[in-house]
Amino acid sequence: MKTKKVRRTATWRHCASVSLALSLCLSFGVSAAPARKTLTGSRIRATFVGKVVTDGFHWSYYLRPDGSIEGTELGRTRKGKWSIHGNELCIDITKGQSPAYCWGIVREGKTLIYQANGNDMQDIMIEERRPQ
């Protein structure tokens, strides 16, 4: 009975091809997640003041340069105040009935995220104010 001779060269080539393909996928095809960066108070000011911050559906606030807010929440007009304390954006729409909500802002690629106590709370968008 004859035994078949195994061609080690073909097996080696196959392994080399698979290894090369995996290396190329890791080098070019798979990108890392965008870096997360917490905005400083001065960066928050430059990014938000004179712009509209919104969740895109339920609410939007125009942060006026004088520290006031013109906004809407579920179709209702809102007025309030904004300020920056340390590295947090503070928004008070409640007419002084409770303390303002203060949020750290994280940028992940092009996405902006409200963060409280180190936890991501809500994705937000910045828009130019539309003429009225």
pLDDT tens-digit readout, 6-15: 455 445 454 4
Q: Is the pLDDT of residue 102 over 90?
A: yes
Q: Is the pTM of this model over 0.85?
A: no
Q: What is the pLDDT of residue 24?
A: 44
Q: Is residue 77 part of a domain?
A: yes
Q: How many domains does the chain fold into?
A: 1
Cα–Cα distance between 52 and 61 in angstroms, integer? 5
What are the C-alpha distances in Å from 40 to residues 12, 51, 92? 54, 17, 20
Q: Is residue 43 part of a domain?
A: yes
Q: Is residue 5 part of a domain?
A: no
Residue 91 domain boundaries: 36-127
pLDDT tens for 56-99 read 999 999 999 999 999 999 999 999 999 999 999 999 987 655 66
Q: Is the pLDDT of residue 41 over 60?
A: yes
Q: Is residue 95 part of a domain?
A: yes
Q: Is residue 6 part of a domain?
A: no
